[in-house]
Structure 1
Amino acid sequence: MKKVAFLFSGRGSLIQSVINAVDKSRITAELSVIITNNIEFTSSSNPLFLGRKVNMVNHKDFSSRSAFDEHIAGILRANQIDLVILGGFRRIFTREFAMEFGSITMNTHPSLLPALPGDKAQQKSLDMGLRITGATLHFINEEVDAGPIIDQEPVRIYNGMTENDLRQAIIEVEQKMIYRAILSFLDGNLMISGNKIIYKDYMNVQNPE
């Protein structure tokens, strides 16, 4: 059975796409591990988390980034995780973590990379007066927001849009990308070649039902 882990720092809004993909996968898979470093998170704030174990790991409890990353790595190893989804997980992993787990760790980013890497991409898009931004799903590597790009979709910015409006619009796009990417990965339909992603059969990449 393929095992998927989901890591987040906010409300965990993107978990729906992970649950849908795992439930609909043509091969046996399960959402085995959920980790958050948001100490204010409660499962009651999102009914999708009810009945699911959420590992609370406060990064402030660790003496260094390396110690925090090693703790996360230990959880992933112990559960023999096949795929990691970072859904709004606001931590930069160390080089050692990226080298071990980069080829199975997908990260969402609220811009069309390589444009606007790093934090606060939504507000930067608004401040710059962009008319189109978007979302990127990529594997992680040793550089911030520079790993092989799995999928991208544009999001139009309308007059009067607030940062929250834009965030919600991007989340809707990210949900679809995560769903498609999980199915493609679990089905063996994508592979990393250098810093690029190759789909073995792009026409079979599925959209959410």
Structure 2
Amino acid sequence: MKKIVILISGRGSNMEAVVRACAREGWPARVQAVIANRPDAAGLGFAQANGIETIVVDHRQFESRASFDTALAREIDRSAPDLVVLAGFMRVLTDAFVERYAGRMLNVHPSLLPCFAGLRTHQQALDAGVRVHGASVHFVTPTLDHGPIVAQGAVPVLAGDDAAALAARVLAVEHVIYPRAVRWFIEGRLSIEGERVALTPSEPQWLFADIAGEGV
């Protein structure tokens, strides 16, 4: 039975999607703990209601990014996880922290990487005038919002879209591709080959969505 630790900062909707998929699909895994860097993170309530240990490591209580990361790693390692899942965890992690979990830490980013790294991705997409936007699941590396891509999901950019409307459409896709990518990892089907991720046995590592956000 593999163990997963999920890091959140807010409502944790991707955390919910992973937890629900794990239970629904009977993965050979369990979510061992959910850790938040904010005590008011709404996702903590969902985790507690589902019998998952919750931990708060408040970044505001630490003088430096490195000291926060040290404390965070200490709490993660108590669960001895096979996989660390970043689910809306809004902290830039130090290189040392990232290297500690190299090859076993996933993130979902709301853009089709390598386009639109960083924040305000949906407004970036609108400002650039792209016709297709989406989300990417990738292994975390020291370079922010980079790393070998596991899966991507694409949505259309519609006339009249604002950042909020586009964000909602992308989030629906995140809720599909992130649990799928986590399951692949748990099943031992992912291997990193340079900058690429191989999936064995092969199946599509992408999702195209229609206007309703459903795969086609």
Q: Give the structure-1-normalised TM-score.
A: 0.89
**Equivalent residues in 2 for 1:64-75 (5 A)?**
64-75=64-75
Structure-1 separation of matches of 2:44 and 2:67: 30
* Unaligned runs of at least 5 residues, structure 1: none
Matched to 1:111, the amino acid is S
Please tell me the residue identity of whatever aligns with 1:124.
Q
Partner SS state of residue 53, structure 2: coil
Percent identity between the two aligned chains: 32
SS in 2 for 1:20: helix
* AA matched with 1:114: P
| Equivalent residue letter for 1:11 | R
Report if aligned partners of 1:137, 1:149 keep a CA contact under 8 Å in 2: yes
Q: What is residue 2 of structure 1 aligned with on the other side?
A: 2
For 1:187, the equivalent position in structure 2 comes to: 187
Change in Cα spacing, 1:79 to 1:201, as seen in structure 2 (3 Å) is same
Tell me the CA shift for residue 19 of structure 1: 1.1
Paired residues of 1:37 and 1:57 also in contact (CA < 8 A)? yes
> Aligned partners of 2:202, 2:141: CA distance in 1, in Å?
24
Which residue is equivalent to 1:141? 141
For 2:188, what is the secondary structure of its paired residue? coil
Q: Is the 8 A contact 2:34 2:47 kept in 1?
A: no
- After TM superposition, the structure 1 = structure 2 runs for residues 1-209 of structure 1, keeping only pairs within 5 Å, are 1-24=1-24, 27-42=27-42, 46=46, 49=49, 51-203=51-203
Aligned CA distance change for structure 1 residues 43 and 198 (closer, same or farther; 3 Å): closer
Q: Tell me the distance in 2 between the aligned counterparts of 1:88 and 1:147.
A: 17
Q: Taking structure 1 as reference, are residues 82 and 132 closer, same or farther at Cα in structure 2, changes over 3 Å only?
A: same
After TM superposition, the structure 1 stretch with the greater mean CA deviation from structure 2, 189-198 or 38-47, is 38-47
RMSD over aligned Cα atoms:
2.4
Rounded Cα–Cα distance in structure 1 between residues aligned with 2:32 and 2:125? 35
Aligned length: 207
> Normalization by structure 2: what TM-score?
0.86
SS in 2 for 1:202: coil
